[in-house]
Chain A
Amino acid sequence: MEGDERVRSPGARRAVAVARGAVLAAAALLVAWLFLLYEPPRAKRYPDREKVVFWHMWTAKWEKVVGEIVDRFNASQTRWEVVALVVPGGSLKTLIATAGGDPPDVMAQWDPVIPAWAERGALTPLDEILDPKDWAYLEKNMYPAVRAIGTYKGHFYGLSTGMNIWALYYRPSRFREAGLDPDRFPETLEELDAAAAKLFRYDAAGRITRIGFMPRWLSQWSAVFGGSFYDATRGELTLLDPGALRALEWMTDYTKRYGFERVQQFESGLTTSMGASWPFISGAYAITVDGQWRIQDLAEAKESDYRTAPIPPPEGGKPLACWSNGNFMVVPSGAKHKQGALAFMKFWSGVDDPERAAEFYTWGGWLPITPDVANARRYQQYIRENPEFATFVRVLASPNVQVSPPVPIQAYLMNRLGSAEDAALRGTLTPRQAMERLDEEIRREQRLQNAAATQADR
């Protein structure tokens, strides 16, 4: 062994030479990348304008769409220049940038941050800095869900750039095959249950090979059953709402009837749900609930065997109801160019020119914030080209669309709500027990937060 270092065999020497060459080549490649391929972040194009820093979370093809809107805005301007920066995982980074005193001027978000951040004074109330004329216009025209998602304790903090609306997607061919009429989609939830039962398929061993329909996400169904987790007039959570409980009981009936594990087993084998690999497209579901963006996924997959319908209400429930979230723009309190941020937001969402904004909304297949954009010529043309999209625009205008309760502990609430739903569907707890445990957890958390604040005030 000794002397290994000094007396090497020719083979070893060759190996060392090869390794050395590989390292040098790698280093050369790295240097080449640094000098030739690396593109520095885009610098300002209009040096004499004021810079409005815009952070967003869109990547890949969406980044290009956003970039195009930014370019159009800058071209329309003489005073501001929006400089966009993609910040994946944006809410965390914005949080830290804001805490560090250097937030962007405007930030597009989809994480539910408004109640928590607004409560702590980290966001600018837009109703206070908007031109009164613009604010009056928005107040009058915004869709109910758009207003709800941006509002916290009577102030408006986030202007949506596109809401998400959920409806049912179903396959006419499967309907026909099961002896159902695809032109007469169920008008009540009870009819939907009956149709779903006919649409399930199993193999010889009793394993599911196609799901007829399987409800998930209690917030969604609570709205459909006429329930609500939040009483806006009293500003209080109402987690023991009878409508919500009825919804959870109905969902639990499904897992009891079709088997929680059996469904889980089947669904775990499905591909990821992104883009064209959405399991609805591969035929795993006959009916499913999803958002308006699937229209574009279906078009990309060249799939035409589908239709959409609003979720039908149960007896005593609400029509055209669903849970909604969405993308919105917020202006951190520490932003330097709030007016520039507002100008950009107005430009994007069509407050000053609905027809122009309508074009942006058709690029992304997004849902607009006012009927003015929806009724614009370009947008109507988009709906004519994608007739199934109309369902979502219809639901968007409904007063029965709900957003997550605007409470500062929203993130905790939604986390625990998911856990309560899971416990009920698994059968670990009854629906009532699950909701009571949730109510207890949330009350405790609220009490603790108040207690901490009181302690600090002493």
Chain B
Amino acid sequence: MARRNNAAGWLLVSPVVIGLLVFSLYPFVASLALSFCDFDIFNAPRWIGLWNYRTLFTEDPLFWKSLGNVLYYTALAVPLGIGFGVALALLLDARIRGLSVYRTIFFLPTIVPAVATSVLWIWLLNPQIGLVNMLLRLFGVEGPMWLGSPEWSKPSLVLMGVWGVGGSMIIYLAGLKDIPVSLYEAALVDGANAWQRLRHVTLPMLTPVIFFNLVMGMIGAFQYFTQAFIMTGGGPQDSTLFYALQLFYQAFQYLKFGYASAMAWVLFVIVVVVTALLFRSQKRWVHYGR
């Protein structure tokens, strides 16, 4: 009986298991092997040892440029996303009329597909007829060229990212709901004001959720691709040539699949190291309510 149940169980989960093996594990292992090869997809891969890695680090300025771009984006977008996400969650945790309407409004951008969001923001950020610069003009400010300027292109994309904090906001809201009321009651009894309650009860109790969003946001930011691919294609002056975009070009435009695989593995190692560092740091600032 148990054996038959086992078989039935495996049968039921088989689509997921096969999918994982064929579409995740196999490419994962294959890309590691290919990263040591010269591979143009048309012809069989040829082993070249560490050549791809050595070239990346010593002879490819665009590799460093794209890495710099993605670090810039991550360092700016992830903290801002957390700041705005938490702030928004706190505001929408208040007891006011029409709360669910506000929550829905702020969550809406999250369910808009990235391509649609990108096209929308191309218009919003249009230097001449875009809403953003028109608003700035009301205050007498002539806005920048946004996506058309090497200095402003990355901040533009960060701005657009902040527009989509609704997803993490929902998680923060759930986190806020999880904070025991007794803690606030105790704080009130001790005479804590609103700021002190936020600083010493809410935020510490929210740190596990913040930590989760920090790790996930960091991983997502390192793989930033779609918006840059659609909106700027890497320009102007390579200012939005993000790591994943450069990787895509190397593979699918320049047919250097081995080289691109090596890039993927370098990124993987970077993400693992940063994640490990974050995990080590959590002892100092993440509170699990113990």
Closest B residue by C-beta to A269: B128
Chain B positions 229-257 with a Cβ under 8 Å from a chain A Cβ? 235-238, 249, 252-255
A99 at the interface (CB under 8 A from B): yes
Binds A, one of B34-42, B86-94, B160-168, B211-219: B34-42
Interface size in chain B (residues, C-beta < 8 A): 31
Name the one of B40, B41, B49, B150 contacting A455, with C-beta atoms under 8 angstroms.
B49
B200 at the interface (CB under 8 A from A): no
Determine whether the beta carbon of A122 is less than 8 Å from that of B48: no
Residues of A within 8 A of B235 (CB): 418-419, 422
Determine whether the beta carbon of B38 is less than 8 Å from that of A453: yes
Residues of B within 8 A of A116 (CB): 255
A95 at the interface (CB under 8 A from B): yes
Determine whether the beta carbon of B42 is less than 8 Å from that of A268: no
Beyond A121-B42, A426-B237, 4 additional contacts (C-beta under 8 Å) are: A95-B41, A99-B42, A426-B236, A448-B59
Cα A264 to Cα B51 in complex, Å, equals 42
B-to-A contact residues, CB < 8 Å:
37-38, 40-43, 46-49, 51-52, 55, 59, 126-129, 145, 148, 150, 235-238, 249, 252-255, 259
Cα A268 to Cα B127 in complex, Å, equals 6
Residues of B within 8 A of A423 (CB): 237
A456 at the interface (CB under 8 A from B): yes
The size class of the interface chain A forms with chain B is 20 to 34
A398 at the interface (CB under 8 A from B): no
Cα A98 to Cα B126 in complex, Å, equals 40
Cα A452 to Cα B46 in complex, Å, equals 9
Do most interface residues of chain B lie in helix, strand or loop, or is the interface mixed? Answer: loop
Name the one of B52, B129, B236, B254 contacting A269, with C-beta atoms under 8 angstroms.
B129
Determine whether the beta carbon of B55 is less than 8 Å from that of A415: no
Closest A residue by C-beta to B61: A441
Determine whether the beta carbon of B255 is less than 8 Å from that of A264: no
Ordered by A's residue number, 6 sampled pairs between the chains whose C-beta atoms are within 8 Å are A265-B127, A268-B145, A412-B253, A418-B235, A419-B238, A455-B48
A303 at the interface (CB under 8 A from B): no
Cα A269 to Cα B255 in complex, Å, equals 36
Cα A95 to Cα B253 in complex, Å, equals 10
Determine whether the beta carbon of A99 is less than 8 Å from that of B41: yes
Closest B residue by C-beta to A266: B128
Cα A415 to Cα B127 in complex, Å, equals 24
Name the one of B43, B47, B237, B249 contacting A422, with C-beta atoms under 8 angstroms.
B237
Q: How would residues 22 to 39 of chain A score, 1 for a CB under 8 Å from any chain B CB and 0 otherwise? A: 000000000000000000
Name the one of B40, B59, B145, B255 contacting A261, with C-beta atoms under 8 angstroms.
B145
Determine whether the beta carbon of A264 is less than 8 Å from that of B237: no
Determine whether the beta carbon of A120 is less than 8 Å from that of B40: yes
A92 at the interface (CB under 8 A from B): yes
Q: Shortest Cβ distance from A75 into chain B, in angstroms?
A: 36
